[in-house]
């Protein structure tokens, strides 16, 4: 599957190619610490956890309590899960040990 969404851009292609070269969690920490603020990194991690909890059918209250995410953030992540590009679903499936490929 080739992504053809509105974000497609040569500079983003280079960024994502760079991310794909990272081989360890330590390398990810090094790169993302240089590229993002601590708040941005923590926000991305929080949204991934919100997505995981939404897939587990947790309530907004449970999610907000556990992650510290606002209801606005939880709603935004839920909208992405329901109507987005399926990026959260892909990553969560792979983290759970499934392939997350096109045929899944």
102 pLDDT higher than 50: no
For residue range 36-56, list pLDDT tens digits in order: 999 999 999 999 999 999 999
**Cα four-point dihedral sign 5, 100, 83, 12:** negative
pTM, two decimal places: 0.87
For residue range 68-78, list pLDDT tens digits in order: 999 999 999 99
Looking at every residue in the chain, the average pLDDT score rounds to 93
Is residue 11 one of the residues assigned to a domain?
A: no
pLDDT at 3: 82
Give residue for tokens 């923590």.
Answer: 42
Is residue 14 one of the residues assigned to a domain?
A: no
103 pLDDT higher than 50: no
Length of the chain: 104
| Domain carrying residue 43 | 24-95
Is residue 31 one of the residues assigned to a domain?
A: yes
Domain count, the chain: 1
């Amino acid at each position: 599957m080739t992504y053809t969404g509105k974000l497609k851009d040569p500079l983003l292609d280079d960024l994502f190619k760079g991310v794909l070269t990272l081989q360890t969690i330590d390398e990810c920490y090094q790169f993302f610490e240089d590229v993002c603020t601590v708040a941005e990194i923590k926000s991305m991690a929080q949204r991934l956890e919100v997505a995981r909890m939404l897939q587990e059918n947790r309530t907004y209250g449970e999610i907000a309590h556990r992650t510290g995410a606002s209801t606005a953030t939880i709603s935004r992540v839920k909208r992405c899960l329901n109507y987005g590009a399926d990026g959260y679903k892909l990553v969560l499936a792979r983290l759970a040990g499934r392939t997350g490929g096109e045929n899944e």
